[in-house]
């Protein structure tokens, strides 16, 4: 039988996860968030306190759900909290929205979160603590490192490889076979046609708007 969960965080990503957990019929014991009052409620769920409230529950009696989102240059908290709780013996639930598609042979590590409308095709492998956000596509044979966020509507073509802590921005498109190094950020709407090294930022081309009136 599946264990009840504790949700970490109560921001936008946590809100979407809470809705998913309810649709999956998972029991949510409560939410931990240092910015909310212990004993108060968040969307009908008890606020248990800050992170230390987790330790009151034996590690083998619950699973955790990482509700901390990650944005470019701001991915640290999500990964740090995952590591801290794992070091204390806690495990993270891997979550697949009922409206996500996963091929039969995909490999999803601990704590991976596949949101609504996601498609993960055959042979793809996704490492721990990644978010594949609403409507994103990860095509066949992609290899995704840990703590990666693939933002809504992004498309990874076949055989793309991402290092750890990469952010693929909303609606970005990566053509087949591209490698993107750890810590890099791909701006929303970018089209990536060449390999990207580690800790790089890719900005999309922008429309040039000029006045029609000529002197
Ligand atoms: C469910 C969710 O909401 S998940 C959240 C998903 N969000 C994302 O994926 C966002 C991804 N982030 C981006 O695309 C960012 O804009 C970045 C990381 C590429 C750039 O960030 P910064 O370096 O901080 O750029 P900054 O915001 O200072 O903008 C610099 C300029 O580039 C422009 N710009 C920045 N990003 C983009 C973009 N993706 N497309 C077009 N123009 C852009 C800005 O408008 C600004 O233009 P200006 O100088 O004419 O005013």
| Residue 92 alpha carbon to ligand 1 centre in Å | 31
Q: Which of 12, 188, 206 to mutate for ligand 1's pocket (most ligand atoms within 8 Å of CB)?
A: 188
Residue 214 has a pLDDT of 66
C-alpha torsion angle, residues 101, 107, 109, 115 (rounded to 10) = -10
pLDDT in tens for each of the 215 residues of the chain? 689 999 999 999 999 999 999 999 999 999 999 999 999 999 999 999 999 999 999 999 999 999 999 998 776 999 999 999 999 999 999 999 999 999 999 999 999 999 999 999 999 999 999 999 999 999 999 999 999 999 999 999 999 999 999 999 999 999 999 999 999 999 999 999 999 999 999 999 887 788 887 66
Neighbour-count burial for 44-79, b at 16+ CB within 10 Å, e otherwise: ebebbbeeebbeebeeeebbbbbbbbbebeebeebb
Q: How many Å lie between the centroid of ligand 1 and the Cα of residue 14? A: 23
Tell me the average pLDDT of the chain.
Answer: 96
**pLDDT per position as a tens digit, 129-139:** 999 999 999 99
Longest dimension (CA), the chain: 76
- Per-domain residue ranges for the chain? 5-87, 94-203
The rounded radius of gyration (Å) of the Cα atoms in the chain is: 19
Give residue-wise pLDDT tens across range 30-50: 999 999 999 999 999 999 999
CA–CA separation, 171 vs 151, rounded Å? Answer: 7
Measured in Å, residue 189 CA sits from the centre of ligand 1 at 9
What is the Cα–Cα distance from 138 to 160, expressed in whole angstroms? 9
Collect all residues with Cβ–Cβ distance below 8 Å to 66 and sequence separation of at least 6: 8, 9, 78, 81, 82, 92, 111, 113, 129
Record the tokens describing residue 63, joined without a space. Answer: 């699973």
Ligand 1: which residues within 6 Å by Cβ? Answer: 71-72, 133, 151-152, 169-170, 185, 187-189, 203-204, 206
Q: 18: CA distance to ligand 1 center in Å?
A: 28
Write down the architecture of domain 94-203 according to CATH: 3 Solenoid (2.160)
Q: Which CATH number fits domain 5-87: 3.40.1130.10, 3.40.50.1100, 3.20.20.30, 3.40.50.20?
A: 3.40.50.20
Confirm whether the ipTM is greater than 0.85: yes
Predicted TM-score (pTM) above 0.90: yes
Helix (H, G, I), strand (E, B), or coil: what is residue 76?
Answer: helix
Q: And the tokens for 47?
A: 């606020």
CA of 187 to the centre of ligand 1 (A): 6
Q: Which atom of ligand 1 is nearest to the CA of 72?
A: 18
- Using CA atoms, how far apart are residues 29 and 46, in angstroms rounded to an integer? 7
Residue nearest to atom 10 of ligand 1 (CA): 169
Phi, psi of 183 (to 5 degrees): 80, 0
């Amino acid at each position: 039988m599946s264990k009840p969960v504790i949700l970490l965080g109560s921001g936008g990503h946590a809100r979407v996860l809470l809705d998913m957990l309810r649709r999956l019929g998972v029991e949510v014991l409560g939410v931990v968030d240092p910015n909310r009052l212990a004993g108060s409620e968040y969307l009908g769920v008890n606020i248990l306190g800050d992170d230390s409230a987790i330790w009151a529950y034996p590690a083998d009696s619950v699973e955790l759900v990482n509700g901390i989102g990650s944005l470019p240059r701001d991915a640290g908290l999500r990964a740090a909290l995952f590591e801290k709780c794992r070091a204390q013996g806690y495990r993270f639930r891997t979550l697949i929205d009922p409206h996500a598609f996963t091929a039969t042979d995909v490999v999803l590590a601990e704590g991976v979160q596949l949101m609504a409308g996601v498609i993960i095709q055959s042979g793809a492998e996704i490492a721990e603590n990644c978010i594949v956000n609403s409507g994103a596509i990860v095509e066949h044979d992609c290899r995704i490192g840990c703590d990666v966020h693939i933002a809504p509507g992004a498309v990874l073509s076949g055989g793309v490889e991402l290092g750890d802590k990469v952010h693929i921005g909303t609606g970005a498109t990566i053509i087949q076979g591209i490698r993107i190094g750890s810590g890099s950020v791909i701006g929303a709407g970018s089209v990536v046609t060449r390999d990207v090294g580690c800790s790089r930022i890719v900005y999309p081309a922008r429309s040039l708007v000029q006045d029609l009136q000529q002197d």
